[in-house]
Structure 1
Amino acid sequence: LRRTMAEGDSHLFNTLVLDIHPYVQDQMFAEREGIFGRRLVAGAFVFSAGLGLVATNCVNAFSYGYDKLRFIKPVFIGDTIYSIRTNMAKRPR
């Protein structure tokens, strides 16, 4: 499953969660001062969008593994993210 990170969606998410850091909100700042030379997509939005790609309406679904989440490289406006879901055996925890 995949999703392209759109500028408007990124801005709307940042506004909603009050993430106004110039690396994610200010293209001119990111180009001049940022180490990547362009705006980043906030990690919280990357995580949320990725989670939304694999969400189900199953009332027995739980989200184990968030503690192992790692951001291994930056995501920029226009990048496409991919989510992979593995259905594990059902066991009480």
Structure 2
Amino acid sequence: MQPSRLGNFYDDFEVGHTIKHQLSKTIFESDNNLFSLLTMNHHPIHTNIDYAEKAQHGKILVVGTLVFSIVVGITVPDISGKAIANLDYENIVHVGPVFVGDTLYARTTVLSKRTSKSKSDRGIIYVETEAFNQDGEIVLRFRRHVLLKK
């Protein structure tokens, strides 16, 4: 048995390559409730069944920042496990709703890469991640720059 390898180095990434992440996560009611409490997001669409049933989707919506956080976590073993830093997140788009009981999956495409301008022993990759549910529907999309050791 070989030890797990957390993350990749800059030189391991190829522009145009898409990584289908192996991790996945089903969102449980307890996940959504705890996240709502921790982040002080008490909007009733996330915590009140009666309210949610009368709203657009007819059921509790998972907090969008929880969806984002979980998807970032799903990518860590492949994208940022060896990162010096995630430099930014941009174009975060909630494409579709996520409900309690949905399972999240993700894939990331390497859009570009370049050597750091200030330190030649590192480089920056620019990636786009898409998250999708158990039905293959895209629910979230975002881009980021990741600083990695060479």
Check whether TM > 0.5. yes
**Which of 47, 59, 74 is the matching residue for 1:25?**
47
Higher relative contact order (CA 8 A, sep 6+): 1
**Which of 95, 99, 110 is the matching residue for 1:72?**
95
Residue-pair matches, total? 91
The residue type paired with residue 60 of structure 2 is R
The CA deviation string for residues 25-68 of structure 1, in whole angstroms up to 9 with x for no partner, is 1112111x21100000010000001111112431434254x211
Q: Superposition RMSD on alpha carbons, in Å?
A: 1.9
**Which of 60, 68, 81 is the matching residue for 1:57?**
81
Runs of 4+ deviating beyond 4 Å: none
Q: Is the 8 A contact 1:50 1:83 kept in 2?
A: yes
Which residue of structure 2 lines up, in the alignment, with residue 42 of structure 1? 63
Q: Which structure dedicates a bigger proportion of its chain to strand?
A: 2
Q: Which structure dedicates a bigger proportion of its chain to helix?
A: 1
5+ residue gaps, structure 1? none
**How far apart, CA to CA, are the structure 2 residues paired with 1:59 and 1:37?**
40
Quote how far apart the aligned CAs of 1:90 are: 4.6
**How far apart, CA to CA, are the structure 2 residues paired with 1:81 and 1:13?**
16
**Which of 24, 28, 34 is the matching residue for 1:2?**
24
TM-score of the pair, normalised by structure 2 = 0.54
**How far apart, CA to CA, are the structure 2 residues paired with 1:90 and 1:2?**
30
Q: Is the 8 A contact 1:27 1:39 kept in 2?
A: yes
The residue type paired with residue 58 of structure 1 is K
The DSSP-based 3-state class of the residue aligned with 1:9 is helix
Quote how far apart the aligned CAs of 1:12 are: 0.3
Structure with larger Rg: 2
5+ residue gaps, structure 2? 1-22, 117-123, 125-150
